[in-house]
Amino acid sequence: MVFADSAATTPVRREVLEAMWPYLAGGSDSVFGNPSSHHEVGERAAEALAQAREAIAQRLGCRPSEVILTSGGTESDNLAIKGIALAAPRGKHLVSIATEHEAVLESLGYLERIHGFEVELLPLAPSGLVHVEHLLEALRPDTTLVTIAHANNEIGTVQPIAELAAVAREGGVPFHTDAVQSAGWLDVGIGGPAGLGVDALSVSGHKLGAPKGVGALALRGGIPLEPLVHGGGQERGRRSGTENVAGAVALAVALELAAAERPGVSAVAEARDALIEGVLDAVPSAILTGSPEHRLPNHASFCFPGTSGEAVLLELERRGVTCSSGSACAAGSDEPSHVLIALGIAPEIAQAAVRFTLGHEATRADAEAIVARTRDAVGAVGSLRG
């Protein structure tokens, strides 16, 4: 079986599991305590939490005090967008793009419906890229926040976030980016040599080898934030609730491993290129979606006109390839992808979408196997429909 759905989730890495174990189980070496408890078991847990936070901060180019631990990317996006917009707004104007993840779009919609904010969506190139001049034109004295993802989960397009953030910073507007898809593959952070220059950045553990249910929001110091979750005042009052110590340790280790593997990403990109070239050659009607040049190193996405994306997926699974038709977060939806519709792709073609996202271990041989099985799957679906 070839697993090509890493954008949906990744397996928990063995090194991550081993690092987590002492913070989950009992025994003489366990550190399972509540980090808010004032006894030895709790204090050991608090120390582990502090060390994990420091390691996460190092990878996200910020201070430990600027790391807010969350349950994942969706919560991090919600906290950044609602929290910044409601805390100390310059006005009620928000700027984003139509291809954002549902966690971003629904948060913006909430602010629009309930709090009277105005949401402006920037124009997009057919590749999904944002032009810096369009952001410059959109900024106003009452703009409170710009939120644009670093990389799109459905089409793999990587935005020029550093340039966009610089424009927002010059205008005095906070900038948030969802780096959930990019954190496992590209250097991300709010500061440091590899930083994107943003004010807030969301990551999720299960996209890079940590378990589901843990994530983080890196928030630049001095940016006011209204909490979404109230209670005991954990996370410096920004996100209450007993901290997930094991999850924090897992996220720290996963980010460290991803950084260590960065030099090997070029080999995955070569496999991705072979996959793209192979599919376009083997299936002449196939349409590559997203930017050919500015895309994640593991991401290849297509539309196969004249087929159903779901039918192609079933045929691929029968042939030993696991992939997806788009976002795994739009559970149960049979509507065409909002991302592809926003790029001007006709609904009937958007419903023929298939996404392949490789893992770090992917090889050219894997790409060639996917190409051959995709050719056969599309041919089988096409003959049935014909």
281 neighbors 75 (Cβ within 8 angstroms): no
Q: Which residues contact 82 (CB under 8 A, 6 or more apart)?
A: 107, 110, 111, 226, 228
CB atoms within 10 A of CB 159: 23
CA distance 354 to 374: 10
SS3 string of 114-171? Answer: HHCCEEEECCCCCCCCCCHHHHHHHCCCCEEEEECCCECCCCCEECCHHHHHHHHHHC
The token duo for 243 is: 């901290």
Instruction: Report which residue type is found at 357.
Output: T
Instruction: List residues bridging with 203 in a β-sheet.
Output: 216
The token duo for 368 is: 């060639």
CA atoms within 13 A on the CB side of 192: 14
Q: Check if 323 is active-site.
A: no
CA distance 204 to 109: 22
Could you list the beta-strand ranges (E) of 160-262: 175-178, 200-204, 215-219
Catalytic residue among 62, 303, 323, 329: 329
CA distance 206 to 102: 17
> Catalytic site residues?
329
